[in-house]
Structure 1
Amino acid sequence: MTGVDDTGKAILRNMLLGRWAAEKLGMTGQDAEAYSDALARATVDPAHSDVFSRIRRDFDAAGVDQSDEEILRVMTELTLKAGNLMPTATGSSVDAAAVSLARKLTPH
């Protein structure tokens, strides 16, 4: 597995995690999508890559009752799901897909 493959999986995991968290926060539509995209963008920005802390802060601020253990359990499940959703073949097609996704999510 290459670093690009890992980045693609992390981006996908954080998008899925963002959708889960947005639902818990009562977000829908464009708000939920923006929240999910922000978590995915954080994957490629080392200064903002601690998605667990962001979700913990957002849940606390909104009064969402979720334990750290539950958040970490969901993160682990979604990491496995993201790995299963990514193409398993190695080579340029996987690398290109991950790079394309990362570029889309990187702020310009």
Structure 2
Amino acid sequence: MTNSDDTVKTMLRNKLLGRWAAERLGLTGLDAETYAEGFAKGANDPANSDVFSKIHRDFEAAGIAESDERILNVMTELTLKAGNLIPTAQGDSTSAAAVTLARKLM
């Protein structure tokens, strides 16, 4: 995987993670999607890339009891899932990965 593929994988993982967290927070519809999008965009922004801490803070603020271990396990599961969703065909894998990401996120 190239660095671009890693970025796409992280964006996809963060989007899936954002959706998981949004569901736990009781967010639905546009609110949930906006929350998840913020996580996906954070993959390219070092100041917002610590999704674990953000989820931990958001859960704590909402009174949701979720262990750090559980959050980390979900992050690992979704990292693996994101990796499986990215094509491994030769050629311009970054473009293919971006197309796949766009399709999966819609």
TM over 0.5: yes
Quick check: 1:10 aligned with 2:20?
no
Q: Specify every segment of 5 or more residues in structure 2 that has no aligned partner in the other structure, as ranges.
A: 102-106
| Deviation by residue 1:60-92 (Cα, 9 ceiling, x = unmatched) | 000111000000000000000000011122431
Contact 1:4 1:98 in 2 (8 A): no
Runs (4+) of structure 1 exceeding 3 A deviation are 97-101
- State the match for 1:86 in structure 2: 86
Distance (Å, rounded) in 1 between the aligned partners of 2:96 and 2:22: 25
Q: Percent identity of the aligned residues?
A: 65
Q: Specify every segment of 5 or more residues in structure 1 that has no aligned partner in the other structure, as ranges.
A: 102-108
- State the match for 2:95 in structure 1: 96
- State the match for 2:104 in structure 1: none
Aligned pairs for 1:57-72 within 5 A:
57-72=57-72
Distance (Å, rounded) in 2 between the aligned partners of 1:89 and 1:37: 27
- State the match for 1:74 in structure 2: 74
Q: What is the number of residues matched between the two proteins? A: 101
Alpha-carbon shift at residue 97 of structure 1 (Å): 4.4
RMSD of the alignment, in Å?
Answer: 1.7
Distance (Å, rounded) in 1 between the aligned partners of 2:85 and 2:98: 16
